[in-house]
Amino acid sequence: MRTITMLALALALAVGLASAQETQHTIDIDIVQVGQWWVVDVEWAGDEPFSRETSTFDGRCSVPSDYYAWGHGELLVFPVGAQTVSTEHCGQLTWEADADGVLVVRGKAGTDGRFTYEGADGSVGNGHYYGAETGYDPSMGTIWFVLDFILDEVTGVEGLEFVAGGTVLQSLVNDIEALLGGTEPLIQLGQGTMSFLPAATD
């Protein structure tokens, strides 16, 4: 199955490359990705986690944030292949009162996020991300949020020069304390596009 997928991708790129070389149109690749992401380390604004204190973390965050986190993700990106990603971002928690009037976390937004990915094909990408859309699904008991990942640079794709790209990731987590404590992963599903031009040749 993997061989068929890679052959289909190679054929699509070959056809697209031939057409693009003639007209200088971009080669647009629709991508779907699924994966998991873990917190590797986190710096809290307060002395204790979930204290509701906020900080700009010496100017690293554009808005007051609950924490600054470093993370690691493992993704399958169709039709490109496997990727690993390292991230760091400022996070803002949304608090609401539960049925007993106790304040609990019901959402998670993110600003000032940066990421670097390494693909199994040898490609490397850098970019930034953010997410302000978040909420809580009481029927599932999960916190959800949406992240926009914007690619700024991609290198290592043979015969192609990167133009633009990005992915919208839907993310789910059951236990926000376990997530930020590094013991439970975040589940992600994304869709996006990557655009290239044929690399200049002598």
The residues pairing with 117 across neighbouring beta strands, listed in sequence order, are 85, 125
The residues pairing with 151 across neighbouring beta strands, listed in sequence order, are 127, 165
Please check whether residue 198 is in contact with residue 161, taking contact to mean a CB–CB distance below 8 angstroms: yes
167: closest CA among 30, 25, 26, 8?
A: 30
38: closest CA among 188, 166, 169, 189?
A: 188
Look at residue 21 in the predicted model and tell me its pLDDT. Answer: 45
What is the reported pTM? 0.84
Look at residue 199 in the predicted model and tell me its pLDDT. Answer: 85
The tokens for 64 are 């007051």
Look at residue 4 in the predicted model and tell me its pLDDT. Answer: 38
Tens digit of each residue's pLDDT, the chain (202 residues): 434 344 344 444 444 444 444 456 899 999 999 999 999 999 999 999 999 999 999 999 999 999 999 999 999 999 989 999 999 999 999 999 998 999 999 999 999 999 999 999 899 999 999 999 999 999 999 999 999 999 999 999 989 999 999 999 999 999 999 999 999 999 999 999 999 999 876 6
DSSP annotation of 200 reads P
Which residue range forms the structural domain that includes residue 177? 2-198
Dist. CA 165–CA 169, nearest whole Å: 13
Longest Cα separation, the chain: 71
Domain count along the chain: 1
Dist. CA 101–CA 58, nearest whole Å: 34
Look at residue 202 in the predicted model and tell me its pLDDT. Answer: 60
Look at residue 19 in the predicted model and tell me its pLDDT. Answer: 46
DSSP annotation of 55 reads B
Q: 156 phi and psi, to 5 degrees?
A: 90, 10
Look at residue 200 in the predicted model and tell me its pLDDT. Answer: 77
pLDDT tens digits along 73-131 = 999 999 989 999 999 999 999 999 998 999 999 999 999 999 999 999 899 999 999 99
